[in-house]
């Protein structure tokens, strides 16, 4: 058991090293200018080893943007789906600020923003995650109509907006601690709106 745990840690370290090297090279030279062979060489692994961890060049970047909201709903226990999601995203604002690689995060955003192929990949990733979330909600709520897909669309849009606001603050120089505090407040606002709708706002729309 101890050896199995050690092997898993080594695998995770290798995976992280490959991803970090790839992101550094893409940030320095541009995504299209760097080959998979160059990433493998710089990371000190064989090309076949790289592909064992990352099946495609774009996954070197896009694996870092995946958010498995379906798994959060599926593993919610006795909590309602929306409560489980709210609690998960609360942690984004409360996490240990020293654990976040802000420079790495901003580099990833710049690399993605400068590549039409990666931007398209992000959109495809979001679509797939939304469909998976809809399936998880349908299972959780025992609802097979359009409602789970509408709910998944609203949740995904809210989470994406929260992340964009957080990333924008970091990119414009807002300190991580302050950006995290604001994110925490906005998570509550977003999930209040999801739970209660427009009626919770002052000057209710009539």
Residues forming CATH 1.10.10.60 domain(s) in the chain: 2-61
Q: For the chain, what is the mean pLDDT?
A: 89
For the chain, how are helix, strand and coil distributed in percent, rounded to 5?
80, 0, 20
Residue identified by tokens 């064989």 is: 46
Could you please state the CATH topology (level 3) that the domain comprising 66-199 is classified under.
Tetracycline Repressor; domain 2 (1.10.357)
Model's pTM, two decimal places?
0.82
For 95-144, how does the pLDDT look when each residue is reduced to its tens digit (9 = 90+)? 655 567 888 889 999 999 999 999 999 999 999 999 999 999 999 999 88
pLDDT tens-digit readout, 173-195: 999 889 989 999 999 999 999 99
Distance, in Å, from the CA atom of 37 to the CA atom of 47, rounded to the nearest integer, reads 6
* Cβ–Cβ under 8 Å, residues 61 and 108: yes
For 2-61, CATH number? 1.10.10.60
Q: For the stretch 95-124, what's the b/e string if a residue is b when 16 or more beta carbons lie within 10 angstroms of its beta carbon? A: eeeeeeeeeebebbbbbbeebeebeebbee
- Residue 201: pLDDT band with limits 50, 70, 90: low
Closest CA to 110 of 26, 179, 169, 36: 26
Stretch(es) of the chain classified as CATH 1.10.357: 66-199
Residue 205: per-residue pLDDT:
45
Return all residues near 19 (Cβ < 8 A) that are at least 6 apart.
54, 60, 63, 64
């Amino acid at each position: 058991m101890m050896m199995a745990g050690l092997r898993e840690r080594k695998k995770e370290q290798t995976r992280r090293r490959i991803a970090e090297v790839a992101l550094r090279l893409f940030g320095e030279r541009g995504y299209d200018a760097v080959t998979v062979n160059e990433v493998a060489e710089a990371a000190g692994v064989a090309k076949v080893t790289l592909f064992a961890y990352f099946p495609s060049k774009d996954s070197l970047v896009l694996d870092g943007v995946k958010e498995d909201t379906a798994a959060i709903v599926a593993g919610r226990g006795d909590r309602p789906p929306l409560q489980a999601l709210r609690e998960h995203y609360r942690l984004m604002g409360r996490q240990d600020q020293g654990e976040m690689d802000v420079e790495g995060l901003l580099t990833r955003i710049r690399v993605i923003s400068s590549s039409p192929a990666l931007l398209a990949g992000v959109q495809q990733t979001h679509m797939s995650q939304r469909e998976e979330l809809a399936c998880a909600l349908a299972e959780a709520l025992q609802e097979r109509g359009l409602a789970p897909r509408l709910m998944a669309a609203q949740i995904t849009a809210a989470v994406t907006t929260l992340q964009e606001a957080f990333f924008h603050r970091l990119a414009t120089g807002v300190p991580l601690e302050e950006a995290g505090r604001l994110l925490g407040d906005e998570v509550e606002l977003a999930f209040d709106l999801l739970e209660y709708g427009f009626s919770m706002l002052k000057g209710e729309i009539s």
